Chains A and B, each alone.
Chain A
Amino acid sequence: KNQVEQSPQSLIILEGKNCTLQCNYTVSPFSNLRWYKQDTGRGPVSLTIMTFSENTKSNGRYTATLDADTKQSSLHITASQLSDSASYICVTGNKLVFGAGTILRVKS
């Protein structure tokens, strides 16, 4: 069954700290892997899109990694800010299978 599992379900960190969110997938065929940020009450916004040949991709303080062999991806957030509080969603597969997301809360 095509699945995308994200961990942790939720996370609270202090402003300025780094954090890493995990995504494991069993989806096949694989086209690309995406990370989205979704603020409360808003639609998801794309952070990164990686093809299977890319190992890492950055977008400002966000860095995504991909290991296509182990079918794992991570999203690393550096020097977190209050505005990073949101749900982070991992998506992959030709038919776009979505993970349930990790809810991140950054506290001052």
Chain B
Amino acid sequence: ETGVTQTPRHLVMGMTNKKSLKCEQHLGHNAMYWYKQSAKKPLELMFVYSLEERVENNSVPSRFSPECPNSSHLFLHLHTLQPEDSALYLCASSQWTQAYEQYFGPGTRLTVT
């Protein structure tokens, strides 16, 4: 798991809190992704960044705000979340586009109370 790292691994936050998830990739990739994985549901693609530009936003509520300061780092800023936002948030990276193999981080288990 040294290729793509995520911090924190676990996060519990109240609905009025503001927190950020961090992802870092050490693979020299150009594209990075945020996914949401809820129990017994398929992975949902949230955001796609390519060369630090957001190229896809899949109707994600504005309480989730991504940031990609460079090609190695990706953040997901969280504010005023709802209990249904509790899930495993996975970061992934790939060379160029989704057509290439994606490498996933270990995920952040988020619980909203």
Complex-state Cα separation, A49 to B100, whole angstroms: 10
Report if A100-B107 is in contact (Cβ < 8 Å); known contacts: A43-B90, A43-B92, A49-B101. Answer: no
Report if A4-B42 is in contact (Cβ < 8 Å); known contacts: A41-B109, A42-B106, A43-B90. Answer: yes
* Interface size class of chain A, counting residues whose CB lies under 8 Å from the partner chain: 20 to 34
Is A13's CB within 8 Å of the partner chain B?
A: no
Report if A96-B107 is in contact (Cβ < 8 Å); known contacts: A43-B90, A43-B92, A46-B102. Answer: no
- Chain A contact surface mostly: loop
Complex-state Cα separation, A48 to B83, whole angstroms: 35
**Interface residues as binary, A87-108 with B (CB distance below 8 Å gives 1, 0 otherwise):** 0010000111111110000000
Complex-state Cα separation, A94 to B99, whole angstroms: 6
Is A63's CB within 8 Å of the partner chain B?
A: no
B4, B40, B109 — which one has the most chain A CB atoms within 10 A of its CB? B40
Are B98's CB and A94's CB within 8 A? yes
Q: Could you pull out 13 A-B pairs where Cβ atoms are within 8 angstroms?
A: A32-B99, A42-B107, A43-B90, A43-B92, A43-B106, A44-B104, A46-B103, A89-B43, A94-B99, A96-B98, A97-B42, A98-B42, A98-B43
- A-B contact sample (13 more), CB < 8 A, given A43-B1, A96-B45: A32-B99, A34-B101, A43-B105, A43-B106, A43-B107, A44-B104, A46-B101, A46-B103, A94-B98, A97-B42, A100-B40, A100-B41, A101-B42
Which 6 A-B pairs have CB atoms at the shortest separation, nearest pair first? A43-B104, A98-B42, A98-B43, A100-B42, A44-B104, A96-B98
